[in-house]
Structure 1
Amino acid sequence: MWESTGPAVKALGALPSLAAAGAVVWAVARGRAAVRQRVGRLARPTAVCAVLSLITGFALPKAGLGSGWKLAEIAVLLLLLAVITRWSPLRELRSALPLTALAVTLWPLALVTGESFLESIGIATFWLLPAAAAVAAGAYPRRQELRRRGAVAEARSAQRLQLSRDLHDFVAHDISGIVVQAQAARFVAATDPSRALLALERIEKAGLSALAAMDRTVQMLHGPDAPATEPLPDVSQLPSVIENFTSAGATEAHLDLPSPAAEALSREAGSAAYRIVVEALTNIRRHAPDAPRATVTFTPTATTVEIRVTNDRGARPAPARRRASRGGLGLPALTEHAQALGGTLLAGPHGDGGWQLTAVLPATFPKETS
């Protein structure tokens, strides 16, 4: 098609090389902060360079530029191919990557004549290898960074979930107790100051407990190098929880915690059992504040410990059941926690208008020695 090898034709033949080199210079000829942003925008210029390379390569196969110039052009295209694979957005990469790989793969076919179809396929396959290597060189760090970002996002999500659980399971329980005690103190302050003083003492105790839970949460956010704090509550602290719950409202709570059941729970399972009981009592206080009785029973079996929290019907059952039916985040989160430990958790109506929560956690009983 082009038979002349004059300066104009040679200039056209050199255009892809100059354009590719210009794209590289444009990307790196700014401050370090702007380099990555510009490199990420190289996909379209690279696609233009690849199209120019294909057009001039087949339209001007004998422009007199020599294979050395063409090899330099291909080397720059390979560099651009690796760079755009590493940094460019996927929507721009979809068109630039195949065009650039095609330009690298087909460039020698315009210079050779007389080869058979199979020989041409072999030549193209040979030059496909450096194109694949350039793509792999860019794709591997891109994949590693995506995995790193995914791991960071997953860790942050787990941390937020743990924070949410701690705030709900511990702080919310203490805050609800403070509200109940404050309401009781307001009603009896004028007629029975001694009871109001007792309520204020319980408010102080619940507030200190909430602050301790907040301290644990903040220390967790500081990471593994943070100073050690007190361990999470476990079933050994349930008697005081039951006592405070009974003294704070109209519901009389009872705890049946035999020693074998307490000793059979691991530290993590014991903390989960504490959370489950606290959540159940908090729900009773919110949704059935006039229930006359609530029972917390731990029953050990051969391989598990069953936790059963039951409350009787209160004086205002209808509103309580409606509010409980809307549900919240506490029981679903605890259900997932119990399942993660290999147990189960179920909650639902019980008896004549009452409510019952049943959790089963795995147990590790010590082996008997002969």
Structure 2
Amino acid sequence: MAHRDRVVIGAAWCVATLALGAGPAPALAAVAIALGAAGCLPRSRRWTGVAAGAAGALLLVATFVWPGHGTRTGSAWQLVAAAAALVLLTAAARWAPRPQLLAGGGLAATAVALWTLPLVPSASFFEYVGLAAFWTVPVIGALVVGGYPRSMERRRHLAVVAARRAQQLELAHDLHDFVAHDVSGIVVQAQAARFVAQNDPAAAALALERIERAGLAALASIDRTVRMLHTADESGEDLPPAGARTALPGTDQLATLIDRFSDTGRTRARLDIAPGAAEVLSREGAATVHRVVVEALTNVRRHAPGAAEVEVALTTDRTTVEVTITNDGGRRPSSLPPLPRFERGGSGGTGLPALAERVRASGGTFTWGPHQGGWRVTAALPATGAEATAS
């Protein structure tokens, strides 16, 4: 027990001891004071509701049961007891569990509101109502003083939970997009290796090497995402805002992404970034562009494996930044087995519809559809930065 705690308990006990010689009502009032002091101790916060109820019960007994409550000494001690009950009621509103607050706090509030009624035995009914209403005001004040920080803490907790949930969903989307891209490349390389294994062992070995690299990349993505989810769950700290995680790639990773795509299949990818286009993108916008490109390239693997070329272009007019991913369609050789179809759940929150929602939430536009025998995906995002401001 800390020294400060012992001092508070000792002082409360002394007050109770000194009051014992003044009659039952002062003694009960002093006990209520002691309960109030004990209930305000840091280690007793969870029992503040019980202490408030006990103090309220003692105050009711001192008010209505023991004779002599109308004396000057008894009334003074009852006033002190009512003040102690108010302090305890404030503490209960701040820390007590809800059932304790409803029961114990309700008893303390009733005692404080009614303690003056026996002091005016000849008062009318409306005067009694007025007295009770007058002493209800400090009761409401105690509940507000104790309940406001509690409600703010509750709102903050809910906000943290919502932010953590949003981050976990975003990480799940990232995991789906990045791993699906790598796994699609693995499937293509495995089919190519099976096709050339007998006639060209060297090409088959190269395909297996690419499969290994893609598998390691997928495992790294899974490990990174699981680690971030574990950190968010166990740390209990406030989460960074969406898009603020440095682990998420942006436009600076597009060249590596294009090279990996070209190395893991027969479709060639070409990247064209206009001067200044990447610089006028916000951090969140750059992450969105990267995700759009990943999803579009993954769809090329799934739905247009015979495409000869994919062009990724990033352009800007200083007010918007546009990324387009265009493939030429092509036709898959009949000698190769078909790629498996990956089904998307209607409410899974991934794929092009989810990207469209994300882009539109950022103030941009998102379209996709056939284009000159192939397929085109286009996302336009608002530009930010000095260049955009100047324009």
Tell me the TM-score normalised to structure 1 length.
Answer: 0.69
What is the identity percentage for the equivalent residue pairs of Structure 1 and Structure 2?
A: 45
Partner of 2:275: 259
Alpha-carbon deviations, 1:149-190, whole Å to 9, x = none? 234324433442443344334344234323432443344334
The within-5 A match list for 1:57-206 is 57-58=63-64, 62=68, 66-94=74-102, 96-115=104-123, 123-206=131-214
Partner of 2:5: none
Once residues 363 and 318 of structure 1 are traced to their aligned partners in structure 2, the CA distance between those partners, rounded to angstroms, is: 38
Pick which of 325-334 and 99-108 moved more: 325-334
Once residues 192 and 338 of structure 2 are traced to their aligned partners in structure 1, the CA distance between those partners, rounded to angstroms, is: 21
Once residues 309 and 130 of structure 1 are traced to their aligned partners in structure 2, the CA distance between those partners, rounded to angstroms, is: 67
Once residues 246 and 219 of structure 2 are traced to their aligned partners in structure 1, the CA distance between those partners, rounded to angstroms, is: 12
Equivalent of 1:309 in 294, 312, 325: 325
Equivalent of 2:362 in 341, 347, 367: 341
Q: Is 1:273–2:281 an aligned residue pair?
A: no
Once residues 56 and 230 of structure 1 are traced to their aligned partners in structure 2, the CA distance between those partners, rounded to angstroms, is: 65
Equivalent of 2:382 in 359, 362, 366: 362
SS of the aligned residue for 1:131 comes to helix
Give 1:279 shift: 1.4
Residue 304 of structure 1 aligns to which amino acid in structure 2?
Answer: T
Structure 1 residues 328 and 130, CA gap change in structure 2 (3 angstroms): closer
Once residues 313 and 255 of structure 1 are traced to their aligned partners in structure 2, the CA distance between those partners, rounded to angstroms, is: 19
Give 1:207 shift: 4.9
Structure 1 residues 350 and 15, CA gap change in structure 2 (3 angstroms): farther
SS of the aligned residue for 1:73 comes to helix
SS of the aligned residue for 1:342 comes to coil
Q: Check whether the contact 1:233–1:271 (CA below 8 A) recurs between aligned residues.
A: yes
SS of the aligned residue for 2:363 comes to coil
Once residues 108 and 64 of structure 1 are traced to their aligned partners in structure 2, the CA distance between those partners, rounded to angstroms, is: 9
Q: Is 1:323–2:343 an aligned residue pair?
A: yes
Pick which of 193-202 and 323-332 moved more: 323-332
Alpha-carbon deviations, 1:60-105, whole Å to 9, x = none? 6645772244234323422331232122333553454444323202
Give 1:108 shift: 0.8
Once residues 159 and 211 of structure 2 are traced to their aligned partners in structure 1, the CA distance between those partners, rounded to angstroms, is: 42
The within-5 A match list for 1:9-20 is none
Alpha-carbon deviations, 1:237-295, whole Å to 9, x = none? 43443343244335454545433544543454233212211111113323444456544
Partner of 1:4: none
Structure 1 residues 219 and 64, CA gap change in structure 2 (3 angstroms): closer
Q: Check whether the contact 2:258–2:271 (CA below 8 A) recurs between aligned residues.
A: yes
Q: Check whether the contact 2:62–2:69 (CA below 8 A) recurs between aligned residues.
A: no
Give 1:303 shift: 1.8
Structure 1 residues 127 and 177, CA gap change in structure 2 (3 angstroms): same
SS of the aligned residue for 1:110 comes to helix
RMSD (CA atoms) = 4.7
Residue 274 of structure 1 aligns to which amino acid in structure 2?
Answer: H
Alpha-carbon deviations, 1:182-209, whole Å to 9, x = none? 4433443343121123223433543565
Q: Check whether the contact 2:289–2:323 (CA below 8 A) recurs between aligned residues.
A: yes
**Structure 1 unaligned runs (5+)?**
1-9
Q: Check whether the contact 1:254–1:294 (CA below 8 A) recurs between aligned residues.
A: yes
Partner of 1:3: none
**Structure 2 unaligned runs (5+)?**
1-22, 239-244
Once residues 231 and 27 of structure 1 are traced to their aligned partners in structure 2, the CA distance between those partners, rounded to angstroms, is: 48
Once residues 331 and 35 of structure 2 are traced to their aligned partners in structure 1, the CA distance between those partners, rounded to angstroms, is: 77
SS of the aligned residue for 2:116 comes to helix
Structure 1 residues 171 and 325, CA gap change in structure 2 (3 angstroms): closer
Residue 380 of structure 2 aligns to which amino acid in structure 1?
Answer: V
Give 1:296 shift: 3.3
Alpha-carbon deviations, 1:41-76, whole Å to 9, x = none? 62xx75576467557735666457722442343234
Give 1:329 shift: 3.4
Aligned length: 347
